[in-house]
Structure 1
Amino acid sequence: MTQESQANLADTYKQLNEAEKQAANLEKMLDNFESKIEAILKEAQDITTTKQEETPTVEAAEDAQDKQ
């Protein structure tokens, strides 16, 4: 193996290690992003559920109107 091919091999190995570090970092960022989206969706679902519980049904509104 020539010095040039050894240098190319070493450089390629170094680039591969750097790419693996970047991929691991991207995976961490993606997991963090996914967690934030799940939290936002849960909060939105909780808000929707609360509003549905607070909003009277048509029947309840008619009953209230009949009592007046």
Structure 2
Amino acid sequence: MELPFIQVNHADRLFACRQKIEEAVHQIIFSERLVEFTPAEIAMAIADIADDYILTIAKQHSAKH
């Protein structure tokens, strides 16, 4: 799917990003290679990794001020 160009500060940018990556994230969550983990466990791990990244970015921005 071809998405329209969206300015960096535009409110729809997060939605456009989600549309672009959602299928890949679902492939990870439901991957048969990760069969020893449930889809819920994988989704929570992805959320935890994302949360760590967001906290790191927040710390970097607060250190610059």
* TM-score tier (shorter): 0.3 to 0.5
> Which has the bigger relative contact order, CA under 8 A and spacing at least 6?
2
TM-score by length of 2: 0.43
Q: Which has the higher helix share?
A: 1
The alignment's TM-score, normalised by the length of structure 1, stands at 0.41
Larger radius of gyration: 1
